[in-house]
């Protein structure tokens, strides 16, 4: 048996043992596994979109309803962020990079003022998909209306031309093919929430189902 001094051996092992490329501690919520792929998940068909007639409506409990064209959305201030995403079907993808307009910039630049009784939004999408999100959740520095992934326009199946990105919630809240933001007085279930998914969807609390 070679007789390497134990302390020296540990020091040598420390030098030759590769550190993990990224620190995963505190990043993978309970019951999730990491994938390098980018799964595509949605209900129904990928919509056919014509940017010439596309619009985004802001309505409900706001002082001034709005209708934005694609050109007007593109003129909004752009930010690029890198976040982890977590799907309720248990895949997580780390370090995904998105470009779009931050929620806070969206409200500020367009001077969107929710009425005092507004507490939640319903995101409305092409083909009728909906999901509900609290204004307190949206009021964060990583929520956005995203139009690019990895520096390129969204793929049609990932929500082109515009999707919501709500990184602090399970990914079903990140509505693809976004067409409307309805400000609501109180909460109301969206598409999956009506089917039994949780109203909040906080993955650190494993809020998968509403039972």
Q: Which residue number, 176 or 208, has a Cβ lying nearer to ligand MTE?
A: 176
Report the alpha-carbon distance of residue 109 to residue 166 in Å, rounded. 20
Does 175 contact ligand MTE by CB under 6 A?
Answer: yes
What residues contact residue 9 under an 8 Å CB cut-off, 6+ apart? none
Residues 47 to 106 in contact with Mo ion, rule: CB under 5 A: 87-88
Stretch binding Mo ion (CB under 5 A), from 11-19, 63-71, 108-116, 169-177: 169-177
Indicate the residue among 12 and 194 with the shorter CB distance to Mo ion.
Answer: 194
Q: Does 172 bind Mo ion (CB under 5 A)?
A: yes
Give the residue, chosen from 177, 201, 203, 208, that forms a contact with ligand MTE under the rule CB under 6 A: 177
Question: Which of 115-154 are b and which e, b meaning 16 or more Cβ less than 10 Å from the residue's Cβ?
Answer: eeebebbbbbbbeebbbbbebebbeeebbbbbbbbeeeeb
d(CA 96, CA 63): 35
The site for ligand MTE (CB under 6 A) is made up of 39-43, 87, 125, 129, 158-159, 171-172, 174-177
């Amino acid at each position: 048996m070679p007789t390497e001094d134990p302390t020296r051996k540990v020091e040598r092992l420390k030098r030759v043992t590769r550190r993990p490329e990224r620190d995963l501690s505190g990043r993978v919520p309970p019951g999730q596994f990491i994938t390098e792929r980018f799964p595509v998940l949605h209900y129904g068909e990928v919509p056919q979109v014509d940017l010439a007639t596309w619009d985004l409506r802001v309505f409900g409990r706001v002082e001034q309803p709005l209708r934005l064209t694609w050109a007007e959305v593109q003129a909004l201030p752009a930010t690029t962020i890198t976040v982890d995403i977590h799907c309720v079907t248990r895949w997580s993808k780390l370090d995904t990079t998105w470009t779009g307009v931050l929620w806070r910039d969206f409200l500020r630049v367009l001077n969107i003022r929710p009425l005092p009784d507004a507490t939640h939004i319903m995101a409305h999408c092409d083909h009728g998909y909906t999901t509900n999100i609290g204004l307190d959740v949206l009021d964060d520095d990583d929520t956005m209306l995203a139009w690019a992934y990895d520096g390129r326009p969204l793929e049609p199946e990932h929500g082109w031309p515009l999707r919501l990105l709500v990184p602090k919630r399970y990914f079903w809240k990140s509505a693809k093919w976004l067409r409307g933001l309805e400000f609501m007085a109180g909460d109301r279930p969206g598409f999956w929430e009506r089917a039994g998914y949780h109203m909040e969807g906080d993955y650190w609390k494993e809020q998968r189902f509403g039972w």
